[in-house]
Amino acid sequence: RINNMKFFANHGVAPEEKSVGQNFEVDIEVSTSLKAAATSDDLSASIDYSVLLTIAKEEILGHKYDLIETVAEKISSRVLALNGARATTIRIRKPNAPIEGTFDYVEIQITRESI
C-alpha cells in the first residue's frame, strides 16, 4: 500500500477545476502474494512501490477528466496489469472540492479484482 500521494492537477466538472486546478491525494492498495518476495528477498518477485507512484502520477497529471471516479478506474486497470496483482483498492481525495460546506475532503474509493 502506498498512501497519501499528493498531486496538483486539473480534474473536475466545474470549469475552474480544469483551468485553475486543485490538490488531490491518492492511496493505492494492492493484494498480492508476498511469499516469493519474502523468501527470496528479491524486489522483482513483488510489486515495486515506485511503479505504483509512477502509475498514479501519469494518470493524475497526464489527463484531464471530469470525474475522479474515472481517474481511479484508469489507475486500477494499470495496477491490475502488473504481474501478481490480484486486486486493488484506489482512493482519491479532493481536499478543496468546490462545494459549499465545511469538510476535510471528498473521497471516492473503488475496489477491482483481476479476472
Please state the domain extents for the chain: 2-113
CA distances from 81 to 6, 21, 58, 85, 96 (A): 23, 29, 15, 7, 31
Strands across the sheet with 106-113, in order? 2-9, 22-31, 87-94, 106-113
* Catalytic residue status for 94: yes
Nearest CA-CA partner of 60 in 89, 23, 97, 110: 23
* Model pLDDT for residues 7-31, shown as the tens digit of each residue: 999 999 988 888 899 999 999 999 9
In CATH, 2-113 is 3.40.720.10:
no
Q: How far apart are CA 87 and CA 103, in angstroms?
A: 30
Residue 38 DSSP one-character state: H
Span 60-67, average pLDDT: 96
Instruction: Determine phi and psi for 47, rounding to 5 degrees.
Output: -105, 120
Catalytic residue (one of 6, 18, 74, 94): 94
- Which ranges of the chain would DSSP assign to H, the alpha helix? 15-19, 35-40, 49-61, 68-80
Whole-structure pTM value? 0.90
What's the pLDDT band for 36 if we cut at 50, 70, 90? confident
pLDDT of 46 higher than 90: no
